[in-house]
Amino acid sequence: MLSRKNVIGLHTLLWCIFIVLLLYTILPTIIVRLLCLWVYKKKVSKDGIALTFDDGPDPEFTPQLLDLLSKYQIKAAFFVLGSKAEKYPEIILRIHREGHLIGIHNYVHWTNALMTPKRVRKQLNDSVEAIEKIIGVKPIYYRPPWGIINVFDLFLVKQYRLVLWSLMVKDWRSRGGKNRIRSTLLSKLQMNHIIVLHDSGQTFGANRDAPHYMLKALEDFLEICKQRNFPFLPIDTYLQLLQFKKRQPSGLVKKCLVFIWLKWERMFNWLFNIRPIDVDNQIFYSRVCKYHGKTIDLGSGEALTSGDLVVELHFNNEKLHQLITESSSMFQLAVKMKHDVQNFLPTLAQRIHSMPQKVKAIYGITMIHRGSRQLGFTVTELPKGLFSRFTQIYLKTLLYVLHPNGRERLKLKSELLSPRIATISTEELYKKYAATVEPMPISEHAISLSQEVLYEANRT
């Protein structure tokens, strides 16, 4: 039996191995997938589907695949193994002559997670040399086996264009035959997909006859796509439409910050029971809570005092990030946000009307207050102190992370970026935005225009 000392030593060793793997390959691969680096799902201005094939060339199945692609006049991308390219140069030459793109899938089908950076570079160099000798063109597109990378592969963007996928149908398995592959392709069929299929069944974990079923399913799929007028694009054209750019370190850091921030906010909302008010327009989240602070004059003889029940609104920053991504300019973003906010406020008034709690006002905090006043809110200064300083740091950080020109905005508008309390009584909200609702007793509320910040930042 192992002694306690040996058991502790074994646990320590296992933890060390796990940490090394985490830093070397698990974390980089997760980051690439979660941030959609080199994984393309949507966002193109012109629609199209890109077909890609891994693990070949195969002397039995690749020629059949080329015949099928020729029949439907489709150009695809073949990510080939260097060792098989050397073994079947005539197939590689045919792929090239028929106008398909040839990329690298390592020299042998071995994961980068279990290779040193030097070994990965040798795999790539040997593959490039083998392919270049056959077709006279140096391949620049690269797909690592199983889509797994190590941390040093992040630097490969200087030499290669890494291409993963947005749709995989597990066609390396024979089980389920043609119908399983066909139904999976059709059930997930949409524009802007990079589809990965396999024209060889000779790699680890694959069934040797699996490409036979893939080809049958693919033929049905292509025929249906033809009937529906779905276009297919070669991968290089596809990436150009996506405005593919080599990822610079600053851009990568920005994407990581956005990802981490949004995940943290999800956890924060869950912990404090902050939920969307309108599932169809999730621009604001809310919670009902007691107000704690100085007395605020709400106008019309009303005042918000400590202990009053309020509705606290929080801007949905994930929605904001989506709007930023979908907008071609900051003007377009401002227009979209204004439209969403104006559509939301009548819904808010109606939801408040149906709430069982008796709330006093809508309450929240904003750094840029002019937009708040235009919407009917009373704006007062946030009392100076630790909470004020913390809020200012938080909102400035938010502006920096989510705004595409956050750093410049902070420099240009620094004198305006001081936190303010924005409030509106339930009665006033009701009068302004819910005129079509039946008269209601004086319900009460509070709003968090915490992200009116970014709407106003974009406007100004």
Question: Nearest Cα to 192, choosing from 144, 225, 239?
Answer: 239
- The total of other beta-carbon atoms located within 10 Å of residue 260's CB is 11
How far is Cα 301 from Cα 75, in angstroms, rounded to an integer? 72
How far is Cα 371 from Cα 366, in angstroms, rounded to an integer? 10
How far is Cα 428 from Cα 361, in angstroms, rounded to an integer? 9
Query: Is residue 199 annotated as part of the catalytic site, yes or no?
Result: no
Share of the chain residues as helix, strand and coil, in percent rounded to the nearest 5: 50, 15, 35
Which one of 105, 198, 369, 403 is the catalytic residue? 198
Torsion of CA 86, 88, 163, 39, to 10 degrees: -140
Q: Give the CA angle between residues 233, 234, 236 to the nearest 5°.
A: 120
Question: Nearest Cα to 77, choosing from 181, 195, 209, 219?
Answer: 195
How far is Cα 166 from Cα 190, in angstroms, rounded to an integer? 11
Question: Nearest Cα to 83, choosing from 170, 172, 145?
Answer: 145
Asked if residue 213 lies in contact with residue 174, where contact means CB atoms within 8 angstroms, the answer is: yes
User: What DSSP element (H or E) covers 80?
Assistant: strand 77-80
Query: What are residue 290's DSSP bridge partners?
Result: 309
Give strand ranges (E) for 241-360. Answer: 275-276, 284-290, 296-299, 302-304, 309-315
Query: What are residue 284's DSSP bridge partners?
Result: 315
How far is Cα 338 from Cα 264, in angstroms, rounded to an integer? 26
Q: Which residue has the tokens 């390959």?
A: 25
The separation between CA 299 and the C-alpha centre of its own chain, rounded to angstroms, equals 44
DSSP conformation class of 114:
G
Query: What are residue 420's DSSP bridge partners?
Result: 366, 381
User: What DSSP element (H or E) covers 389?
Assistant: helix 386-402
How far is Cα 403 from Cα 323, in angstroms, rounded to an integer? 11
Burial label for 64, CB within 10 Å (0-12, 13-18, 19+), is: middle
Angle between helical axes of 61-71 and 89-97 (0-180°, round to 10): 10
Query: Is residue 198 annotated as part of the catalytic site, yes or no?
Result: yes
Q: Which residue has the tokens 């597990």?
A: 170
Give strand ranges (E) for 97-210. Answer: 101-104, 141-142, 161-162, 167-168, 194-198
Which sequence positions are flagged as catalytic? Answer: 54, 198
